[in-house]
Amino acid sequence: MIQIVWEFRVDPNKQREFEKHYGPEGTWVELFCKDSAFGGTRLLRNHEDEGRYLTIDCWQSLEAYEAFRVQYAREYQEIDQRMEHLTASETPVGVFEVL
């Protein structure tokens, strides 16, 4: 099992909308749930820096995630473009193996 971690910077005026779309029942999860290898998303907000968020997406394997990205490339890109206005920055932190 792997966890894919992203860091986001979000304008204070857009935090609620960001949380709605990036949270465990949001727009991204709706897309990810189309694949049985997806295991859920956690959304974390930094306590000391409220504009800083992390998402942690759980997948059965990196290969499963990569296959999902190929199969749903169009939908992924469409959502990414629609949500772009919500973030000041988006940085991949890494892919972590669950031990």
Q: Which residue has the tokens 């897309």?
A: 31
pTM of the model: 0.94
| 48-89 pLDDT, tens digit each | 998 999 999 999 999 999 999 999 999 999 999 999 999 999
Beta-carbon count within 10 A of 58 CB:
17
- Scanning the chain, the segments in alpha helix (DSSP H) are 15-22, 27-32, 62-71, 73-83
Which among 34, 8, 38 is positioned nearest to 21, based on CA atoms?
8
For residue 30, pLDDT over 90 is answered with: yes
> What average pLDDT does the segment 14-36 reach?
97
Q: Domain 2-97 classified CATH 3.40.366.10?
A: no
DSSP 3-state of 92: strand
Q: Which residue has the tokens 């998303």?
A: 41
DSSP 3-state of 6: strand
Cα distances (angstroms) measured from residue 48 to each of 13, 22, 44, 55: 17, 20, 12, 17
Sign of the CA dihedral 54, 78, 29, 1?
A: negative
